């Protein structure tokens, strides 16, 4: 590591957030009600809640919000006037994201700045955001990041990285962008004991993280499975809601709509989901993915076959949200194991 | 034992080849969860389970298998949805075999999670207790203190219709105890009610899990999905979220069995049943009708009678 770590006392957190908010738009997990949190722009430092393992909605929302205005238009004195919404006015900080969510941003980068097209809305925010990651001291049993090229202490993608030591956070500076924060008055010097404690915590977390799920060769397996009866059985319990895709840190489909009334309106893009029948319904009335069979197949194929084909890595980071929140207990780990075992 | 009887019956039915499949519950992959299970061979019958985590309303799956002869494991609420669906001519009851289970009422996994000091690694039922284990704890919780709100005061735990009951009927609670979340809502002033509704719907992410989990939401095109006419925008504007939740509730009038599947499916823990249960209560008071109790009696909003009460129409 190029830069020495620092320490941030928890009693200083409020003041630290306040300080950040003076210079940046701060995004962090906020508790909406007991057990439910999301990433949100912070208005009051007291809102920030780093106690949940992972907010329901993933970090992707900070860069690619569920509903985003692309531009506004109106007719003024018989002339069209279009107002751009592309610009990001202030520098931003995204704080408290876990390594899985940050790894997912890496995957989204490839989609939104691909060789065929670049997405200005996403990239503007991405360029102007500093990411402060937060290590996962206690991975859950639904977590399988360590099986998906990640891990509870993976620092890749973070500009700064926090490790919860109990009464304080150890702060690591990982990039030039992150190092620029090192002169913050709330960052104190660390001693040897802090470093040792951080190492111990990391070791414990790595031991806890489940790395037992092997998906080696899955891309090839799936190549042979597009017409397999496997999908009929695999999708039976799926009720066709959008929970797994909306809460997925890597899913990135959207639908564009005009919201207009009389002579003014806005073009909006909203998250969309391949698990809904409407997603693939064509104007003619024909639906190339008419049943759950084709739609569940699409979800799995995109993550573990098409995405690797297009970009290299698999489009799953093992955060476990789709497992925890599925109303029907569809467990993607089980489905992956079945595919591999076939 | 209920589980054993379900397995035996399933084995028998599948051996006789009278059914294409049986939909029941199997072991879930997470503590405190069971998972909908679909079996076609008698050898698979032993995978069927029954416990206080069998929370899904399985009638939902009948839409997926509407060309098949289906055996369905039903609690009180599931059976009422089946009847309500058959009254709406979604299918003929005679292609179904209802394996009825008098319901002990289901455990609210989220309430249990919030009551313990860490991640639950293992959970089991022991008499009237739920024993939950984590890394540094093992706690016995009184089962009846952790039931789903919709289950807590359920007054129709016994299946309203079943081809076979796998246990003796349980004693039903009285109407006086029903609808606790409606009482709470009714005590609020109109302003407080709106605030409550506004706050709850503001968490909505339009995943439509509430709609998909509900057996009664089966429109070929839901009003939120229609683009011509466009009734509603697709984003997260508060007015759109509120509109969705209001209309979803209204569409359930006289059709909702009060199973609570909508609320359980919601990843954002939005409270929903106070609306539908209020409508259930109104329908009961105004039309003396309860969803899915009587397989001949059509829901009040789909019939017309000159003697219908109308003093509340102003």
> Per residue in B4-42, pLDDT tens?
999 999 999 999 999 999 999 999 999 999 999 999 999
Domain check: are B192 and B218 in the same one? yes
DSSP 3-state of B273: helix
Return the pLDDT at A2: 80
Task: Determine the Cα–Cα distance for residues A202 and A154; give it in Å rounded to an integer.
Answer: 10
Inter-chain CB proximity B268 and A56 less than 8 Å: yes
CB B71 within 8 A of CB B23: yes
Question: Interior CA angle at B18 toward B12 and B24, to 5°?
Answer: 60
**How does A92-122 read in b/e, with b if 16+ C-beta sit within 10 Å?**
bbbbbbbbbbbbbbebbbebbeeeeeebebb
B137 with B239, same domain? no
Domain boundaries, chain A: 6-208, 218-341
Length of chain B: 314
Mean pLDDT of chain B: 95
Q: Which of A150, A140, A200, A143 is nearest to A170 (CA)?
A: A200
Using a CB-CB cut-off of 8 Å, the residues of chain B touching A293 are none
B83 and B192 fall within a common domain: yes
Residue at which a domain ends, from B146, B174, B193? B146
Cα–Cα distance between B122 and B27 in angstroms, integer? 13
Which one of A210, A245, A329 would you mutate to disrupt binding with B, by most B Cβ within 10 Å of its Cβ? A329
pLDDT digits (tens, 9 = 90+) for B266-283: 999 999 999 999 999 999
Same domain flag for B164 and B78: yes
Looking at the domain assignment, is residue B311 inside a domain?
Answer: no
pLDDT at position A1 is: 57
3-state secondary structure of A81: strand
pTM score above 0.90: yes
CB atoms under 10 Å from CB of A283, counted, come to 6
Q: Which residues of B touch A207 (CB under 8 A)?
A: none
Residues in A whose CB is inside 8 Å of some CB of B read 32-36, 56-57, 66-67, 138, 140-142, 233, 236-237, 239-243, 246-247, 255, 257, 259, 268, 270, 273, 276, 278, 292, 323-325, 327-329, 331, 333-334
- Overall domain count for chain B: 2
Q: Which residue of B has its CA nearest to A332?
A: B29
B95 and B155 together in one domain: yes
Set of chain A residues whose Cβ sits within 8 Å of the Cβ of B61: 236-237
Answer whether A177's CB lies under 8 Å from A130's CB. yes
Does residue B65 share a domain with residue B173? Answer: yes
Asked whether the beta carbons of residue A239 and residue B213 sit closer than 8 angstroms, the reply is: yes
The alpha carbons of chain B give a radius of gyration, in whole angstroms, of 20
Q: From first to last of the 342 residues of chain A, give the pLDDT tens digit.
A: 589 999 999 999 999 999 999 999 999 999 999 999 999 999 999 999 998 789 999 999 999 999 999 999 999 999 999 999 989 999 999 999 999 999 999 999 999 998 888 999 999 999 999 999 999 999 999 999 999 999 999 999 999 999 999 999 999 999 999 999 999 999 999 999 999 999 999 999 999 888 899 999 999 999 999 999 999 999 999 999 999 999 999 999 999 999 999 999 999 999 999 999 999 999 999 999 999 999 999 999 999 999 999 999 999 999 999 999 999 999 999 999 999 998
Tell me which residue has tokens 């206080």: B52
B245 touches A at CB < 8 Å? no
Q: Calculate mean pLDDT across residues B186-203.
A: 96
Residue B305 in any domain: the answer is no
- One domain, residues B116 and B264: no
C-alpha distances (whole Å) from A22 to each of A7, A17, A19, A209 are 21, 9, 5, 37
Q: Which residue of A has its CA nearest to B207?
A: A242
CB-based contact (8 Å) between B235 and chain A? Answer: yes
Q: Which residues of chain B does A328 touch, with a Cβ-Cβ cutoff of 8 Å?
A: 35-36, 56
The per-residue pLDDT for range B115-154, each reduced to its tens digit, is: 999 999 999 999 999 999 999 999 999 999 999 999 998 9
The size of chain A, in residues, is 342
On whether residue B245 sits in a domain, the answer given is yes
Read off the pLDDT of residues B145-180 as tens digits, 9 standing for 90 and up. Answer: 999 999 998 999 999 999 999 999 999 988 777 777
Same domain, B54 and B151: yes
ipTM greater than cut 0.90: yes
Residues B157 and B96 in one domain: yes
B265 CB near a chain A CB, below 8 Å? yes
Does residue B171 fall inside a structural domain? Answer: yes
With respect to residue B19, please indicate whether it lies within any of the assigned structural domains: yes
- Tell me the nearest-neighbour CA distance from A97 into chain B, angstroms: 19
Q: Could you tell me which chain B residue has the CA closest to the CA of A324?
A: B30
Within 8 A of B229 by CB-CB distance, chain A residues are: none
Domain edge (last residue) among B89, B121, B146: B146
For residue B202, count CB atoms less than 10 angstroms from its CB and return exposed for 0-12, middle for 13-18, buried for 19 or more. Answer: middle
| Cα–Cα dist B198/B240, whole Å | 11
Check whether residue B123 and residue B217 sit in a common domain: no
Q: Does B260 lie in the same domain as B122? A: no
Cβ atoms of residues B56 and A328 within 8 Å: yes
The answer to whether residue B312 sits within a structural domain is no
Domain with B177 in it: 2-108+147-299
> Do B213 and A241 count as a contact with CB atoms less than 8 A apart?
yes
Q: Do B235 and A67 touch (CB under 8 A)?
A: yes
Q: Is residue B29 part of a domain?
A: yes
CB contact under 8 A, A241 and B114: no
Check if the beta carbon of residue A177 is closer than 8 Å to that of residue A159.
Answer: yes
Q: Is residue B304 in some structural domain?
A: no
Same-domain status, B271 and B246 = yes
Query: Average pLDDT of B76-97?
Result: 95
Residue from A238, A243, A287, A323 whose CB has the most chain B CBs within 10 Å, to mutate: A243
Task: Tell me how far CA of residue B89 lies from CA of A23, B213, B216, B296, in angstroms.
Answer: 62, 20, 12, 12
């Amino acid at each position: 590591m190029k830069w020495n770590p620092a320490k941030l006392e928890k009693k200083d957190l409020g003041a630290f957030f306040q300080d950040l908010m003076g210079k940046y738009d701060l995004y962090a997990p906020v508790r909406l009600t007991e057990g439910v949190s999301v990433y949100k722009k912070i208005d009051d430092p007291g809102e920030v809640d780093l106690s949940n393992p992972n907010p329901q909605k993933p970090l992707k929302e900070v860069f690619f919000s569920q509903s985003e205005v692309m531009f506004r238009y109106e007719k003024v004195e018989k002339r069209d006037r279009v107002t751009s919404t592309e610009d990001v006015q202030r520098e931003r900080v995204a704080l408290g994201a876990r390594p899985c969510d940050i790894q997912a941003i890496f995957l989204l980068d490839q989609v939104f700045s691909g060789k065929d097209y670049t997405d200005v809305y996403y990239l503007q925010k991405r360029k102007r955001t500093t990411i402060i990651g937060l290590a996962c001291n206690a991975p859950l049993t639904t977590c399988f990041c360590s099986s998906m090229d990640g891990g509870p202490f993976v620092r890749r993608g973070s500009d700064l990285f926090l490790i919860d030591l109990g009464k304080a956070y150890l702060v690591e500076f990982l990039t030039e962008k992150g190092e620029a924060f090192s002169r913050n008055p709330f960052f104190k010097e660390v001693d040897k004991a802090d470093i040792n404690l951080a190492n111990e915590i990391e070791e414990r977390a790595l031991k806890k993280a489940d790395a037992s799920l092997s998906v080696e060769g899955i891309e090839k397996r799936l190549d042979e499975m597009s017409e397999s009866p496997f999908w009929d059985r695999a999708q039976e319990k799926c009720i066709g809601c959008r929970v797994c895709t909306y809460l997925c840190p890597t899913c990135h489909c959207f639908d564009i709509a005009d919201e207009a009334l009389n002579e003014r309106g806005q073009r909006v893009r909203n998250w969309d989901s391949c698990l809904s029948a409407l997603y693939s319904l064509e104007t003619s009335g024909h639906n190339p993915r008419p049943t759950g069979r084709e739609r569940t197949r699409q979800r799995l194929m995109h993550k573990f076959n098409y995405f690797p084909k297009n970009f290299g890595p698999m489009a799953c980071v093992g955060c476990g949200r789709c497992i925890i929140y599925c109303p029907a207990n569809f467990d993607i780990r089980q489905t992956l194991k079945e595919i591999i075992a076939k | 034992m209920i589980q054993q009887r379900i397995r035996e019956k399933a084995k028998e039915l599948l051996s006789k080849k009278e059914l294409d499949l049986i939909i029941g519950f199997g072991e879930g992959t997470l503590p405190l969860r069971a998972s909908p299970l679909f079996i076609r061979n008698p050898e698979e019958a032993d995978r069927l389970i029954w416990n206080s985590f069998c929370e899904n309303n399985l009638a939902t799956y009948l839409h997926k298998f509407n060309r098949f002869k289906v055996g369905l494991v039903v609690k009180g609420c599931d059976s009422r949805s089946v009847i309500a669906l058959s009254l709406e001519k979604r299918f003929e009851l005679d292609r179904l075999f209802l394996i009825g289970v008098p319901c002990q009422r289901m455990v609210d996994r989220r309430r249990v999670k919030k009551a313990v000091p860490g991640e639950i690694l293992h959970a089991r039922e022991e008499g009237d207790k739920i024993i939950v284990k984590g890394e540094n704890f093992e706690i016995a919780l009184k089962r009846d203190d952790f039931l789903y709100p919709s289950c807590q005061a359920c007054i129709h735990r016994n299946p309203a219709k079943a081809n076979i009951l796998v246990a003796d009927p349980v004693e039903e609670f009285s109407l006086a105890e029903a609808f606790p979340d409606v009482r709470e809502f009714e005590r609020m002033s109109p302003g407080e009610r709106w605030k409550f509704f506004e706050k709850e719907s503001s968490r909505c992410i339009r995943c439509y899990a509430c709609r998909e989990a509900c057996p009664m939401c089966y429109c070929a095109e839901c009003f939120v999905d229609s683009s011509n006419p466009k009734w509603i925008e697709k984003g997260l504007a508060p007015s759109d979220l509120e509109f969705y939740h209001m209309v979803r509730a209204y569409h359930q009038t006289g059709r909702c069995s009060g199973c609570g599947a909508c609320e359980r499916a919601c990843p954002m823990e939005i409270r929903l049943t106070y609306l539908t249960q209020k409508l259930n209560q109104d329908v009961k008071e105004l039309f003396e009708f309860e969803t899915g109790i009587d397989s001949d009696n059509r829901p009040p909003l789909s019939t017309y009678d000159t003697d219908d009460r109308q003093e509340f129409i102003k």
